[in-house]
Structure 1
Protein backbone atom coordinates (compact mmCIF):
# COMPACT_ATOMS: atom_id res chain seq x y z
CA UNK A 1 0.00 0.00 0.00
CA UNK A 2 1.27 3.51 -0.74
CA UNK A 3 2.35 5.50 2.30
CA UNK A 4 1.28 8.75 0.62
CA UNK A 5 -1.30 9.57 -2.00
CA UNK A 6 0.26 11.77 -4.66
CA UNK A 7 -1.52 14.89 -5.80
CA UNK A 8 -3.69 14.17 -8.86
CA UNK A 9 -3.17 15.74 -12.24
CA UNK A 10 -5.84 18.33 -13.14
CA UNK A 11 -7.44 15.89 -15.59
CA UNK A 12 -8.11 13.40 -12.75
CA UNK A 13 -11.06 15.39 -11.38
CA UNK A 14 -13.81 17.62 -12.83
CA UNK A 15 -13.03 21.24 -13.69
CA UNK A 16 -15.49 22.59 -11.11
CA UNK A 17 -13.22 21.31 -8.32
CA UNK A 18 -10.18 23.25 -9.52
CA UNK A 19 -10.98 26.22 -7.24
CA UNK A 20 -11.17 23.91 -4.22
CA UNK A 21 -7.97 22.15 -5.24
CA UNK A 22 -6.15 25.49 -5.45
CA UNK A 23 -6.73 25.80 -1.67
CA UNK A 24 -4.97 22.53 -0.94
CA UNK A 25 -1.41 22.83 0.33
CA UNK A 26 1.30 20.56 -1.03
CA UNK A 27 2.13 17.54 1.06
CA UNK A 28 0.59 14.39 2.46
CA UNK A 29 -3.17 14.52 1.94
CA UNK A 30 -3.82 11.84 4.57
CA UNK A 31 -1.91 13.85 7.17
CA UNK A 32 -3.93 16.93 6.16
CA UNK A 33 -7.19 15.02 6.55
CA UNK A 34 -6.22 13.85 10.02
CA UNK A 35 -5.30 17.42 10.93
CA UNK A 36 -8.62 18.69 9.57
CA UNK A 37 -10.46 16.34 11.93
CA UNK A 38 -8.62 17.75 14.95
CA UNK A 39 -8.97 21.33 13.67
CA UNK A 40 -12.72 20.97 13.19
CA UNK A 41 -13.16 19.57 16.69
CA UNK A 42 -11.18 22.54 18.01
CA UNK A 43 -13.28 25.02 16.01
CA UNK A 44 -16.45 23.74 17.69
CA UNK A 45 -14.89 23.41 21.16
CA UNK A 46 -16.70 26.38 22.71
CA UNK A 47 -19.77 26.51 20.45
CA UNK A 48 -23.12 25.89 22.12
CA UNK A 49 -26.00 24.12 20.40
CA UNK A 50 -27.90 27.41 20.28
CA UNK A 51 -24.99 29.22 18.64
CA UNK A 52 -24.52 26.33 16.18
CA UNK A 53 -28.14 26.80 15.06
CA UNK A 54 -27.53 30.39 13.94
CA UNK A 55 -26.73 31.50 10.41
CA UNK A 56 -24.41 34.29 9.32
CA UNK A 57 -26.97 35.62 6.81
CA UNK A 58 -30.56 35.10 5.72
CA UNK A 59 -31.03 31.91 3.71
CA UNK A 60 -27.64 30.42 4.69
CA UNK A 61 -27.09 27.14 6.48
CA UNK A 62 -26.54 27.00 10.23
CA UNK A 63 -23.24 25.68 11.54
CA UNK A 64 -24.98 22.38 12.33
CA UNK A 65 -26.30 22.20 8.78
CA UNK A 66 -22.86 22.98 7.38
CA UNK A 67 -21.37 20.24 9.54
CA UNK A 68 -24.08 17.83 8.35
CA UNK A 69 -23.22 18.77 4.76
CA UNK A 70 -19.59 17.94 5.49
CA UNK A 71 -20.66 14.55 6.92
CA UNK A 72 -22.89 13.82 3.93
CA UNK A 73 -20.14 14.83 1.51
CA UNK A 74 -17.59 12.68 3.34
CA UNK A 75 -19.93 9.69 3.06
CA UNK A 76 -20.79 10.26 -0.58
CA UNK A 77 -17.21 10.90 -1.71
CA UNK A 78 -16.07 7.89 0.33
CA UNK A 79 -18.71 5.70 -1.29
CA UNK A 80 -17.61 6.92 -4.70
CA UNK A 81 -13.98 6.15 -3.87
CA UNK A 82 -14.97 2.63 -2.76
CA UNK A 83 -17.04 1.97 -5.89
CA UNK A 84 -14.45 3.30 -8.30
CA UNK A 85 -11.58 1.50 -6.53
CA UNK A 86 -13.51 -1.73 -7.06
CA UNK A 87 -13.84 -0.99 -10.81
CA UNK A 88 -17.52 -0.08 -10.74
CA UNK A 89 -18.58 0.60 -14.31
CA UNK A 90 -21.93 2.27 -13.56
CA UNK A 91 -22.09 6.03 -13.40
CA UNK A 92 -22.48 7.09 -9.77
CA UNK A 93 -25.24 9.63 -9.10
CA UNK A 94 -24.89 13.23 -8.05
CA UNK A 95 -26.86 14.74 -5.19
CA UNK A 96 -28.65 17.97 -4.34
CA UNK A 97 -26.75 19.30 -1.33
CA UNK A 98 -29.52 21.72 -0.36
CA UNK A 99 -32.17 18.99 -0.42
CA UNK A 100 -29.93 16.77 1.70
CA UNK A 101 -29.39 19.54 4.26
CA UNK A 102 -33.09 20.46 4.30
CA UNK A 103 -34.02 16.84 5.02
CA UNK A 104 -31.23 16.15 7.52
CA UNK A 105 -32.87 17.69 10.60
CA UNK A 106 -29.36 18.71 11.67
CA UNK A 107 -30.64 21.55 13.86
CA UNK A 108 -32.53 19.22 16.20
CA UNK A 109 -29.45 17.08 16.82
CA UNK A 110 -26.96 17.82 19.58
CA UNK A 111 -23.74 19.30 18.21
CA UNK A 112 -21.76 16.63 20.09
CA UNK A 113 -23.67 13.96 18.17
CA UNK A 114 -22.88 15.58 14.82
CA UNK A 115 -19.20 15.87 15.72
CA UNK A 116 -19.07 12.23 16.79
CA UNK A 117 -20.65 11.13 13.49
CA UNK A 118 -18.24 13.32 11.54
CA UNK A 119 -15.23 11.75 13.26
CA UNK A 120 -16.51 8.19 12.78
CA UNK A 121 -17.16 8.68 9.07
CA UNK A 122 -13.79 10.39 8.62
CA UNK A 123 -11.91 7.62 10.47
CA UNK A 124 -13.70 4.96 8.43
CA UNK A 125 -12.78 6.64 5.14
CA UNK A 126 -9.19 7.17 6.25
CA UNK A 127 -8.84 3.44 7.01
CA UNK A 128 -10.22 2.64 3.57
CA UNK A 129 -7.88 5.10 1.83
CA UNK A 130 -4.88 3.59 3.58
CA UNK A 131 -5.88 0.19 2.20
CA UNK A 132 -5.84 1.32 -1.43
CA UNK A 133 -3.03 0.20 -3.70
CA UNK A 134 -1.41 2.54 -6.24
CA UNK A 135 -3.47 0.82 -8.94
CA UNK A 136 -6.72 1.43 -7.03
CA UNK A 137 -5.83 5.09 -6.55
CA UNK A 138 -5.35 5.44 -10.31
CA UNK A 139 -8.65 3.77 -11.16
CA UNK A 140 -11.01 6.04 -13.02
CA UNK A 141 -14.79 6.08 -12.84
CA UNK A 142 -17.77 8.33 -13.46
CA UNK A 143 -19.51 10.27 -10.70
CA UNK A 144 -22.20 12.85 -11.35
CA UNK A 145 -21.55 12.44 -15.08
CA UNK A 146 -17.85 13.37 -14.80
CA UNK A 147 -14.69 11.28 -14.92
CA UNK A 148 -12.62 11.14 -11.73
CA UNK A 149 -9.90 8.94 -10.27
CA UNK A 150 -9.85 7.60 -6.74
CA UNK A 151 -6.76 9.76 -6.10
CA UNK A 152 -8.72 12.75 -7.40
CA UNK A 153 -11.63 11.95 -5.07
CA UNK A 154 -9.39 11.73 -2.00
CA UNK A 155 -7.88 15.13 -2.75
CA UNK A 156 -11.27 16.66 -3.64
CA UNK A 157 -12.55 15.49 -0.26
CA UNK A 158 -9.72 17.24 1.57
CA UNK A 159 -10.09 20.38 -0.56
CA UNK A 160 -13.88 20.48 -0.13
CA UNK A 161 -13.47 20.19 3.62
CA UNK A 162 -10.83 22.92 3.66
CA UNK A 163 -13.23 25.17 1.74
CA UNK A 164 -16.00 24.66 4.32
CA UNK A 165 -13.66 25.03 7.28
CA UNK A 166 -12.63 28.41 5.90
CA UNK A 167 -16.29 29.39 5.57
CA UNK A 168 -16.86 28.34 9.18
CA UNK A 169 -13.91 30.39 10.33
CA UNK A 170 -14.53 33.49 8.23
CA UNK A 171 -18.32 33.75 8.17
CA UNK A 172 -19.52 32.07 11.34
CA UNK A 173 -16.83 32.14 14.00
CA UNK A 174 -15.37 35.59 13.38
CA UNK A 175 -18.70 37.36 13.78
CA UNK A 176 -19.89 38.48 17.19
CA UNK A 177 -22.32 36.16 18.98
Structure 2
Protein backbone atom coordinates (compact mmCIF):
# COMPACT_ATOMS: atom_id res chain seq x y z
CA UNK A 1 0.00 0.00 0.00
CA UNK A 2 2.84 2.42 0.87
CA UNK A 3 5.93 2.57 -1.30
CA UNK A 4 9.03 4.73 -1.27
CA UNK A 5 7.87 7.92 -3.04
CA UNK A 6 9.34 8.97 -6.35
CA UNK A 7 9.95 12.43 -7.75
CA UNK A 8 6.65 14.00 -8.67
CA UNK A 9 4.92 12.72 -5.53
CA UNK A 10 6.26 15.58 -3.43
CA UNK A 11 7.86 19.02 -3.77
CA UNK A 12 11.66 19.01 -4.14
CA UNK A 13 12.04 20.57 -0.68
CA UNK A 14 11.12 17.24 0.93
CA UNK A 15 13.77 15.22 -0.92
CA UNK A 16 16.22 15.79 1.94
CA UNK A 17 13.85 14.00 4.31
CA UNK A 18 12.71 11.19 2.05
CA UNK A 19 16.24 10.18 1.09
CA UNK A 20 17.04 9.56 4.78
CA UNK A 21 14.36 6.86 5.07
CA UNK A 22 15.47 3.31 4.38
CA UNK A 23 13.60 0.63 2.55
CA UNK A 24 10.91 -1.41 4.20
CA UNK A 25 7.38 -1.05 5.47
CA UNK A 26 6.95 2.61 6.46
CA UNK A 27 4.45 1.78 9.20
CA UNK A 28 6.92 -0.64 10.78
CA UNK A 29 9.72 1.89 10.40
CA UNK A 30 7.64 4.55 12.17
CA UNK A 31 6.89 2.07 14.95
CA UNK A 32 10.55 1.24 15.50
CA UNK A 33 11.51 4.88 15.29
CA UNK A 34 9.23 5.94 18.14
CA UNK A 35 10.86 3.63 20.68
CA UNK A 36 14.40 4.64 19.78
CA UNK A 37 13.61 8.35 19.71
CA UNK A 38 11.68 8.29 22.99
CA UNK A 39 14.55 6.49 24.71
CA UNK A 40 17.06 8.96 23.32
CA UNK A 41 15.20 11.98 24.69
CA UNK A 42 14.35 10.36 28.02
CA UNK A 43 18.05 9.75 28.62
CA UNK A 44 18.89 13.47 28.55
CA UNK A 45 19.69 15.40 31.68
CA UNK A 46 17.82 18.61 32.48
CA UNK A 47 20.87 20.61 31.37
CA UNK A 48 21.01 18.72 28.07
CA UNK A 49 17.27 19.15 27.49
CA UNK A 50 17.61 22.94 27.75
CA UNK A 51 20.87 23.14 25.78
CA UNK A 52 21.16 25.32 22.66
CA UNK A 53 24.27 24.98 20.51
CA UNK A 54 24.13 28.68 19.56
CA UNK A 55 22.18 31.79 20.44
CA UNK A 56 18.80 31.83 18.76
CA UNK A 57 18.80 28.08 18.10
CA UNK A 58 16.22 25.73 19.54
CA UNK A 59 16.83 23.81 22.73
CA UNK A 60 16.69 20.02 22.70
CA UNK A 61 13.17 20.26 24.19
CA UNK A 62 12.15 22.65 21.44
CA UNK A 63 13.48 20.31 18.76
CA UNK A 64 11.36 17.48 20.14
CA UNK A 65 8.34 19.77 20.35
CA UNK A 66 8.90 20.87 16.76
CA UNK A 67 9.14 17.27 15.58
CA UNK A 68 5.89 16.43 17.34
CA UNK A 69 3.87 19.38 16.10
CA UNK A 70 5.18 18.97 12.55
CA UNK A 71 4.08 15.34 12.64
CA UNK A 72 0.66 16.44 13.86
CA UNK A 73 0.37 18.87 10.94
CA UNK A 74 1.55 16.24 8.47
CA UNK A 75 -1.00 13.82 9.91
CA UNK A 76 -3.75 16.32 9.23
CA UNK A 77 -2.51 16.79 5.68
CA UNK A 78 -2.43 13.02 5.17
CA UNK A 79 -6.03 12.68 6.32
CA UNK A 80 -7.29 15.48 4.09
CA UNK A 81 -5.39 14.29 1.03
CA UNK A 82 -6.29 10.62 1.54
CA UNK A 83 -9.95 11.60 1.71
CA UNK A 84 -9.68 13.30 -1.66
CA UNK A 85 -9.77 16.87 -0.39
CA UNK A 86 -8.27 19.16 -3.03
CA UNK A 87 -8.21 22.27 -0.85
CA UNK A 88 -4.78 23.86 -0.87
CA UNK A 89 -3.56 23.48 2.72
CA UNK A 90 -1.56 26.34 4.16
CA UNK A 91 1.99 26.09 5.36
CA UNK A 92 3.07 27.21 8.81
CA UNK A 93 5.92 29.13 10.40
CA UNK A 94 7.77 26.57 12.49
CA UNK A 95 9.83 29.26 14.26
CA UNK A 96 6.68 31.00 15.49
CA UNK A 97 5.04 27.72 16.50
CA UNK A 98 8.04 26.75 18.64
CA UNK A 99 8.21 30.23 20.17
CA UNK A 100 4.51 30.16 21.12
CA UNK A 101 4.61 26.61 22.52
CA UNK A 102 6.87 27.43 25.50
CA UNK A 103 8.42 23.95 25.47
CA UNK A 104 11.06 24.96 28.00
CA UNK A 105 8.36 25.12 30.69
CA UNK A 106 7.48 21.43 30.20
CA UNK A 107 9.27 18.33 31.41
CA UNK A 108 11.06 16.08 28.99
CA UNK A 109 8.87 13.21 30.18
CA UNK A 110 5.75 15.16 29.24
CA UNK A 111 7.13 16.08 25.82
CA UNK A 112 8.14 12.48 25.11
CA UNK A 113 4.70 11.23 26.13
CA UNK A 114 3.05 13.65 23.72
CA UNK A 115 5.46 12.62 20.96
CA UNK A 116 4.62 8.94 21.52
CA UNK A 117 0.87 9.60 21.46
CA UNK A 118 1.12 11.59 18.24
CA UNK A 119 3.21 8.82 16.64
CA UNK A 120 0.70 6.17 17.73
CA UNK A 121 -2.01 8.28 16.16
CA UNK A 122 -0.01 8.60 12.92
CA UNK A 123 0.43 4.84 12.73
CA UNK A 124 -3.28 4.25 13.40
CA UNK A 125 -4.20 6.73 10.66
CA UNK A 126 -1.88 5.12 8.13
CA UNK A 127 -3.04 1.60 8.98
CA UNK A 128 -6.66 2.68 8.56
CA UNK A 129 -6.34 4.24 5.13
CA UNK A 130 -8.39 2.34 2.54
CA UNK A 131 -6.55 0.65 -0.32
CA UNK A 132 -5.50 3.12 -2.99
CA UNK A 133 -5.84 6.27 -0.91
CA UNK A 134 -2.12 6.71 -0.11
CA UNK A 135 -1.47 7.40 -3.78
CA UNK A 136 -3.91 10.30 -3.83
CA UNK A 137 -2.35 13.70 -4.24
CA UNK A 138 -3.36 17.02 -2.82
CA UNK A 139 -1.87 20.44 -2.19
CA UNK A 140 -0.03 21.57 0.90
CA UNK A 141 2.31 24.50 1.43
CA UNK A 142 2.04 25.49 -2.26
CA UNK A 143 3.05 22.09 -3.60
CA UNK A 144 1.48 18.85 -4.75
CA UNK A 145 2.13 15.88 -2.46
CA UNK A 146 0.76 12.36 -2.05
CA UNK A 147 -0.46 10.89 1.22
CA UNK A 148 2.14 8.17 0.63
CA UNK A 149 4.97 10.71 0.46
CA UNK A 150 3.84 12.39 3.68
CA UNK A 151 4.34 9.15 5.61
CA UNK A 152 7.97 9.12 4.46
CA UNK A 153 8.35 12.85 5.10
CA UNK A 154 7.30 12.28 8.72
CA UNK A 155 9.94 9.59 9.22
CA UNK A 156 12.61 11.53 7.35
CA UNK A 157 11.90 14.81 9.14
CA UNK A 158 12.55 13.06 12.43
CA UNK A 159 15.76 11.46 11.13
CA UNK A 160 16.91 14.87 9.88
CA UNK A 161 16.50 16.44 13.31
CA UNK A 162 18.08 13.52 15.14
CA UNK A 163 21.10 13.86 12.85
CA UNK A 164 21.33 17.58 13.66
CA UNK A 165 21.05 16.85 17.37
CA UNK A 166 23.94 14.40 17.15
CA UNK A 167 26.11 16.68 15.01
CA UNK A 168 25.45 20.10 16.52
CA UNK A 169 24.37 19.39 20.06
CA UNK A 170 26.84 16.54 20.60
CA UNK A 171 24.79 15.21 23.48
CA UNK A 172 22.46 12.66 21.97
CA UNK A 173 24.78 9.81 21.08
Question: TM-score range with shorter-chain normalisation?
Answer: over 0.9
Match for residue 89 of structure 1 among 86, 90, 107: 86
Matched, 1:128 2:121: no
Q: Which runs of 5+ in 1 are unaligned?
A: none
Match for residue 70 of structure 1 among 60, 67, 70: 67
Match for residue 96 of structure 2 among 99, 106, 120: 99
Matched, 1:161 2:165: no
Partner Cα distance (1:71, 1:174) in 2 = 20
Partner Cα distance (1:46, 1:158) in 2 = 21
Match for residue 107 of structure 2 among 107, 110, 113: 110
TM-score, length-normalised on structure 2?
Answer: 0.94
Number of corresponding residues: 173
SS class of match (2:145): strand
Matched, 1:172 2:169: yes
CA offset digits 1:6-45 (Å, max 9, x no partner) = 1111110110111222211112211211111111112123
Partner Cα distance (1:136, 1:50) in 2 = 44
Aligned to 1:51: 48
Aligned to 1:20: 17
1:54 Cα deviation from its structure 2 partner: 1.2
1:78 Cα deviation from its structure 2 partner: 0.1
CA offset digits 1:66-114 (Å, max 9, x no partner) = 0010011010000000011111121111000000001010000111100
| Runs of 4+ more than 6 Å apart | none
Query: What's the C-alpha RMSD, in Å, of the aligned pairs?
Result: 1.6
